[in-house]
């Protein structure tokens, strides 16, 4: 008998029939002798509607009241699933974030979990086999206000609950049957990855893969929670139908040179031309952006021949481009740059794999594959297990196909 946490996303609980399907899946795991806790998202489209309600009343709404509104979607789903399970003869009850409780900080709309008290949930699981149906995406702040974890936060809720319950595994049910080497909608030869390391999955998620939320992978890696990504719409439950396991590197016997290729169209490039090249220039540029809560990703600095000026290029999220330009233009007098150039028609493409640590030539293969297709590289950044490049957006799909073939990832 294992203790499992199952998480079902918005498409998995999109209507009453799908909620009943989820209940049948949970019953299969219970019938197999497992102790089960379930974390659910709001029904697909509900959270977007609730967000729109808030924005239609006030664009500068109170974040605490925003959380009170948008957290209600998960409350509905958890109650409906508990009813569906009871109808199948499974003891179950719904739990809201404040009832468990899941304690968060006071950063509303993007709160972070501080601790979870699973005493009562675990007791009921042990004594009566009751299934806990937990509303994802939410907790309660130290000041006793409902707080939400940000979009995709139900993944984080599930992994955190699995860690607190010492669960054997956290199964993330979604509309895909695992993590693929790249987006199968673009590359038809993409294949499912049986096992992937926490580090690789973290890079995949942060570089644009939409399967898991980045914070959930960070938490899984910190607490060594084994996570499985699989499809809600397969007939067999997760214990019988393997998706992709996200595990510690020690659990993977033979590591691929490159495990996957991720991409993000949510990028914009900014270049400051003719910035004075003197100590502290980077701090003066990025300080105001930090104050405005704008995240900067790839950074390249080119020094002029005379050594007196430099061009600074970096990327920000596409949604932050207008604010970035506004902040920098306002600080132009202090930064003393000649002109600002922005470009929203770019994409970031990344090759990822722990095998890079012990193999040379990974970046060169990437550059050659892109050059052979006539794709110009605008910016390059690297880490121990990742190489990312910025290319013109219209070359995104061509780049993915070229790199997928170059690294031998095409399905046989």
185 is in an annotated binding site: yes
DSSP 320: G
User: What is the phi-psi region of residue 348: left when phi exceeds 0, alpha when psi lies from -120 to 50, beta otherwise?
Assistant: beta
Report the distance separating Cα 292 and Cα 290, nearest Å: 5
74 is in an annotated binding site: yes
174 is in an annotated binding site: yes
Query: What is the SS3 assignment for 49?
Result: helix
407 is in an annotated binding site: no
210 is in an annotated binding site: yes
Q: Which of 173, 223, 193 is nearest to 354 (CA)?
A: 193
Query: What is the SS3 assignment for 216?
Result: helix
Report the distance separating Cα 77 and Cα 66, nearest Å: 19
**DSSP labels, 374-412:** TPPP-EEEEETTEEEEEEEGGGHHHHHHHHHHHTT-S--
9 is in an annotated binding site: yes
How many residues would you count in the chain? Answer: 412
Cα dihedral: 248, 208, 210, 405 (round 10): -80
Percent of the chain that is helix, strand, coil (3-state, to 5): 35, 30, 35
67 is in an annotated binding site: no
Strand arrangement of the beta sheet that strand 195-197 belongs to: 92-95, 131-135, 35-40, 3-8, 169-174, 227-231, 244-247, 195-197
Report the distance separating Cα 40 and Cα 92, nearest Å: 14
Task: Please give the helix or strand (H or E) that residue 272 lies within, else none.
Answer: strand 260-276
180 is in an annotated binding site: yes
Q: Find out whether 209 and 260 touch, Cβ atoms under 8 Å.
A: yes
The label of the residue with tokens 């709404």 reads 61
For residue 305, list its beta bridge partners.
none
For residue 350, list its beta bridge partners.
262, 388
Q: Find out whether 251 and 169 touch, Cβ atoms under 8 Å.
A: no
Q: Find out whether 40 and 133 touch, Cβ atoms under 8 Å.
A: yes
Q: Tell me how many degrees the CA angle 298-299-300 measures, rounded to the nearest 5.
A: 130
For residue 315, list its beta bridge partners.
269
Tokens read off for 397: 């799909």
Cite the annotated binding site by residue number.
7-10, 47, 74, 174-175, 180, 185, 210-211
Residues at the binding site for ATP are: 7-10, 174-175, 180, 185, 210-211
Binding site residue list for substrate: 47, 74
């Amino acid at each position: 008998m294992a203790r499992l946490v199952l998480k079902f996303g918005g498409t998995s609980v999109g209507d009453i029939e799908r909620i009943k399907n989820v209940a049948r899946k949970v019953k299969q795991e219970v019938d197999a002798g497992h102790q089960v806790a379930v974390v659910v998202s709001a029904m697909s489209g509900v959270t977007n509607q609730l967000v729109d309600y808030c924005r239609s009343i006030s664009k500068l709404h109170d974040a605490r009241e925003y959380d009170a509104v948008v957290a209600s979607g998960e409350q509905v789903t958890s109650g409906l699933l508990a009813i569906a399970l009871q109808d199948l003869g499974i003891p179950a009850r719904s739990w809201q974030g404040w009832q468990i409780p899941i304690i968060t900080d006071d950063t509303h709309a993007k709160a972070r979990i501080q601790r979870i008290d699973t005493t009562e949930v675990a007791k009921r699981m042990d004594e009566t086999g009751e299934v806990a149906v937990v509303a994802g995406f939410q907790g309660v702040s130290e000041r006793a206000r409902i707080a939400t974890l940000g979009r995709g936060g139900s993944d984080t809720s599930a992994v955190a609950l699995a860690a607190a319950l010492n669960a054997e595994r956290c199964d993330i049910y979604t509309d895909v049957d695992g993590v693929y080497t790249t987006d199968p909608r673009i590359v038809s030869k993409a294949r499912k990855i049986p096992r992937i390391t926490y580090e690789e999955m973290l890079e995949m998620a942060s570089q644009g893969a939409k399967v898991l939320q980045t914070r959930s992978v960070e938490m899984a890696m910190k607490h060594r929670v084994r996570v499985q990504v699989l499809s809600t719409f397969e007939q067999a439950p997760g214990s019988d139908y393997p998706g992709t396991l996200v595990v510690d590197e020690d659990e993977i016997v033979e590591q691929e040179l490159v495990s996957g290729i991720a991409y993000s169209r949510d990028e914009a490039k900014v270049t400051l031309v003719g910035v004075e090249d003197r100590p502290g220039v980077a701090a003066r540029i990025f300080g105001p952006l930090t104050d405005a809560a704008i995240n900067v990703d790839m950074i390249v600095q080119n020094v002029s021949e005379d050594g007196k000026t430099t061009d600074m290029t970096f990327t920000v999220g596409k949604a932050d481009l207008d604010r970035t330009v506004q902040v920098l233009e306002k600080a132009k007098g202090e930064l003393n740059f000649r002109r600002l150039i922005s470009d929203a028609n770019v994409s970031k493409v990344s090759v990822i794999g722990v095998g890079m640590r012990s193999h040379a030539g990974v970046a060169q293969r990437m550059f050659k594959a892109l050059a052979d297709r006539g794709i110009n590289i605008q910016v390059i950044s690297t880490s121990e297990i990742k190489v990312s490049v910025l290319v013109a957006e219209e070359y995104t799909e061509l780049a993915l196909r070229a790199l997928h073939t170059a690294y031998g990832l095409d399905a046989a």
